Chain A
């Protein structure tokens, strides 16, 4: 079974500051890991994904995440926050490989606020 824990339901940073959103996962098999972003009243948009290739993954809008197996973590970072980054961010996990457990399990989300 897979699960994710997002540490901090709300993170607030100043514009131009580092963004760090924390995610820890649990998986009984090698995982696929994802970060999604959700703007108000919209669906979820894929930011980036880890599928067992490079452990440092770069995504859209300047975000990146590093897969650390020893720490079971997949934290999302961005060097310099922009006002447009304000949104809800979801970490998610699924089982890798062709498996009947092919659904993605989402964390509870972290709301990112940007201070001017």
Chain B
């Protein structure tokens, strides 16, 4: 068990470009979550998968954001036409069930210039 892996660790992009992040959860975890964290704030829920099904998406998430989890394994989070306000740490977590708590990855820090 190597934990939750996220790639890349850091991403700097120009405003208007598209970016994609990858998350590899713990293999036996069927639940996968994406959160966004800005400086001095707690993680903010973005979306949740159970196996390959995307069961919930935050109303705060604009149409520029999309996530997939093909075959219920790794997940990708894509942001189209990035804006400076998208600059944040994007955290992925996986779990067997909510009462187990989550195991978080180290995050991908996005900087939009």
Contacts and interface: CB of A to CB of B under 8 A. Distances in A.
A34 B102 CA distance: 10
A90 B45 CA distance: 14
* Chain B interface residue bracket vs A: 20 to 34
- For B41, B43, B45, the residue with the greatest tally of chain A CB atoms inside 10 Å of its CB is B43
A44 B99 contact: no
Interface residues of A, number: 26
B69 to A, nearest CB: 15
B104 A45 contact: yes
Contact of A46 (B33, B45, B102, B105): B102
A96 B98 CA distance: 8
A108 B41 contact: yes
Contact of A104 (B4, B40, B98, B109): B98
B33 A43 contact: no
Contact of A90 (B31, B43, B93, B103): B43
Contacts of B43: 44, 90, 106
Interface in A34-88: 34, 36, 41-46, 49, 51
A103 B101 contact: no
A49 B102 CA distance: 11
A49 B98 CA distance: 11
Given A43-B91, A44-B91, A106 B99 contact: no
- For A42, A46, A102, the residue with the greatest tally of chain B CB atoms inside 10 Å of its CB is A102
A109 B55 contact: no
B101 A49 contact: yes
Given A43-B4, A43-B107, A44-B91, A104 B102 contact: yes
